[in-house]
Amino acid sequence: MIVLLTLLAYRGVLGNGFVNYDDDRYVTANAQVQKGLTADSIAWAFTATECSNWHPLTWLSHMLDVQLFGLDAGRHHLVSLLLHAANALLLFLLLVRLTGSLWRCAFVACLFAVHPLHVESVAWIAERKDVLSTLFGLLALLAWVGYLGSRTALRYALVVALYALSLMAKPMLVTLPFLLLLLDFWPLRRLALPLRESKETLSRLLVEKAPLLAMAAASCVVTFAAQRSGGSVETLQDFTFGERLANAALSYVSYLGKTFWPASLAVFYPHPHGGLTPWPLSGSIVLLAAFTWLSLRLAKKAPYVAFGWLWYLGALVPVVGFVQVGAQAMADRYTYVPLIGIFVAIAWALTELGASARWARTAVAAASAAALLALSIVTRVQVGRWTDDVALFDHALAVTSDNWLAETNLGVAVFDRGRTDEAIAHYSEALRIWPGFAEAHNDLGLALVRKGRIAEAIEHYHEALRLYPEFAEAYNDLGTALARQGRTAEAVEQLDRALRLRPGSAGFRFNMGNALLGAGRFPQAIEQFDRALVLEPDYAEASNGAGLALTRMNRWPEAADRFRQALAIRADLAEAHNNLGIALAREGRYPEAIEHFRRALAIKPDFAEAGANILRAEGAIGGRP
């Protein structure tokens, strides 16, 4: 029932595509991931801190998907959905093992399965790390319960191994030792309040979890280092400690509100950044204090309330903003594990309410079924918001205000669809909201280049680099724009800076090759094109570029081989057909040349050069004696 309900609520995700928010960095534009599972890519997975995280298991998961399915987005989504369904089932099994209460556990698992706040973790391919980390976290909890029943070194080693896998997918469950202490309190009842009434001493309970605590601490250190090196950790100058505490209080209450009324869900909620008003903040603090006091007061009579509330509070600590990572105020995906506590408290409280009379049990059962139905419907609607990046960010703009990231990403989405004027409008609005957003400056530059406004674009690239001096893409785009102006020496200088920051970028190598080609440095250009091909063997444009450089050196037979290599990779590359035609014409092989010119024109009907080359070749044939 649990798995079926999950699949029904999320079946629409199978028709969704990739989105331009991190899916490119994790899958579609990640050269290592697109290699699939190779010795080189596996080694990279264990050493990379790409995307400001060390999560090798997540990388391996994406690589396996590419190995099996290529870039079929529906199948990538299917894997995430099956992992989510498995998590719901594991949660059910864990709770049954702990409590023996079948129906309450089933209700918790169903809430977990179909709550709309969890859509982001399931429908966003880049968030595979959420469902994967939780899978191994739940398995670790199940293994821990098994260890308590039979304390052997092998069982403890299994717990350690599963916990390590969870942390290697995403470090969200650094709080697992704390969650184990909560399980000691309820339902295991090894720990009581006050502590003097406990079956076990707190120190003994902590000692048995010491290896797990050490693993959590190590994961925190590695994660902080990775995120700081990636520029994701905000400083106290960006967000003061007071702002962080205030936003944390508001986030705790906002998540609760969206748990009971899951409306206006967005992929990104902008941080208010000093715009917090006193009354909502004061109200949030009072509510949190009141709920905490009430849950502790009920610790003996209704321990599940204290358990659920403290699970919610504790599991959110890594992502609630005390250490601010990114510019979001909150994120739906952060509730994936924390809401388990709230769902447990709800399920057990409803059972107590229904215990008084038969009519009460019937009412509770009906209300529970209605709630699951309503949540499933909202989840299906929310899954539809993730159909593509236009739908996703259009909706985000509809339900949030001053959302500079949604404006920018919607701009990227429409830019990719050829709607350049719309893109410029969205980038400009993003910069009105936040003039210091380097990525919006860079994206606006790309749109201006497409409109032929190169000088304006260069100004925005310079501004992006002033704001973010380590912005490799901006150096690359600036270099490309300078090359278009014929300023090849400056272009090479900027592209060299880009390559110092990202030496493994095949695209940057290709652009450097083009700049060197324009500067007349043909051997160096060929070297860059070849290095791009080493990084991406299917880079047809790089092979075509090397061929062009060879033509400038009058090495026509070698050039023709390079053009053929490009066409073997991409038969629809019009430029390579045209260039091969020119090379063949140089050898007097005009009929073959004409055939390639015609193919170029068929692929690209407005390819004027190919049309002119047909006329020249036909004229050459006609002029033969």
Residue 523 resides in a domain: no
DSSP H helical segments within 124-240, as ranges? 128-149, 153-169, 176-185, 202-208, 210-229
**Contact, 48 vs 26, CB < 8 A?**
no
pLDDT (tens digit per residue) in 368-394: 999 999 999 999 999 999 999 999 999
Residue 459 resides in a domain: no
Look at residue 599 in the predicted model and tell me its pLDDT: 98
Phi, psi at 267, each rounded to 5°: -70, -20
469 upstream amide cis, omega within 30 of 0 = no
Chain mean pLDDT for the chain: 95
Does 154 score more than 50 pLDDT?
A: yes
Tokens of 410: 């919607």
pLDDT (tens digit per residue) in 609-619: 999 999 999 98
Cα separation of 110 and 243, whole Å? 36
Residue 53 resides in a domain: yes
Average the pLDDT over 75-98 and give the result: 99
Look at residue 621 in the predicted model and tell me its pLDDT: 84
Q: Give the pLDDT band (50/70/90) at residue 275.
A: low
Q: Give the pLDDT band (50/70/90) at residue 625.
A: very low
Domain of 97, in residue numbers = 2-385
pLDDT (tens digit per residue) in 25-82: 999 999 899 999 999 999 999 999 988 899 999 999 999 999 999 999 999 999 999 9
* Count of structural domains, the chain: 1
pTM: 0.94
Tokens of 400: 């949030």
Residue 548 resides in a domain: no
Residue 156 resides in a domain: yes
pLDDT (tens digit per residue) in 126-140: 999 999 999 999 999
Does 238 score more than 70 pLDDT?
A: no
Which three-class secondary structure state does DSSP give residue 270? strand
Cα separation of 375 and 68, whole Å? 33
Q: Give the pLDDT band (50/70/90) at residue 276.
A: low
Average the pLDDT over 481-495 and give the result: 97
Longest dimension (CA), the chain: 110
Burial label, 67 (beta-carbon count in 10 A; 0-12, 13-18, 19+)? middle
**Contact, 176 vs 163, CB < 8 A?**
yes
Tokens of 497: 């800076």
Higher-pLDDT residue of 234 and 327 is 327
Number of residues assigned to the chain: 625
Look at residue 620 in the predicted model and tell me its pLDDT: 86
Q: What percent of the chain has pLDDT over 70?
A: 97
DSSP state of 83: H
Residue 424 resides in a domain: no
Q: Specify the long-range contacts of residues 44-48, CB closer than 8 Å, at least 24 apart.
A: none
Residue whose token pair is 């610790």: 299
**Contact, 109 vs 2, CB < 8 A?**
yes
Cα separation of 44 and 487, whole Å? 36
Whole-angstrom CA distances from 295 to 149, 184, 291, 318, 357 are 29, 17, 6, 22, 25
Cα separation of 144 and 211, whole Å? 13
Q: Give the pLDDT band (50/70/90) at residue 235.
A: low
Q: What angle is formed at CA 534 by the lines to CA 470 and CA 565, rounded to 5 degrees?
A: 130
**Host H or E run for residue 420:** helix 420-433
Q: Which residues contact 615 (CB under 8 A, 6 or more apart)?
A: none
Which three-class secondary structure state does DSSP give residue 50? helix
Q: Specify the long-range contacts of residues 238-241, CB closer than 8 Å, at least 24 apart.
A: 238/324, 239/271, 239/273, 239/321, 239/324
**Contact, 170 vs 52, CB < 8 A?**
no
Whole-angstrom CA distances from 176 to 59, 121, 229, 324, 612 are 22, 19, 26, 21, 69
DSSP state of 330: E
Does 274 score more than 70 pLDDT?
A: no
Average the pLDDT over 537-561 and give the result: 97
Cα separation of 509 and 524, whole Å? 11
Q: Give the pLDDT band (50/70/90) at residue 196.
A: confident
**Contact, 409 vs 24, CB < 8 A?**
no
Cα separation of 252 and 242, whole Å? 16
Tokens of 605: 């009907």
Residue 444 resides in a domain: no
Tokens of 130: 């959420």
Does 273 score more than 80 pLDDT?
A: no
Look at residue 7 in the predicted model and tell me its pLDDT: 97
Q: What is the CA radius of gyration of the chain?
A: 29
Whole-angstrom CA distances from 260 to 45, 273, 312, 339, 374 are 39, 26, 14, 11, 11
Residue 321 resides in a domain: yes
Does 562 score more than 90 pLDDT?
A: yes
Q: Which amino acid is at 399?
A: V
Does 558 score more than 90 pLDDT?
A: yes
Tokens of 483: 């090359």
Which three-class secondary structure state does DSSP give residue 329? strand
Cα separation of 463 and 460, whole Å? 5
Report CA 414 to chain centroid distance, whole Å. Answer: 20
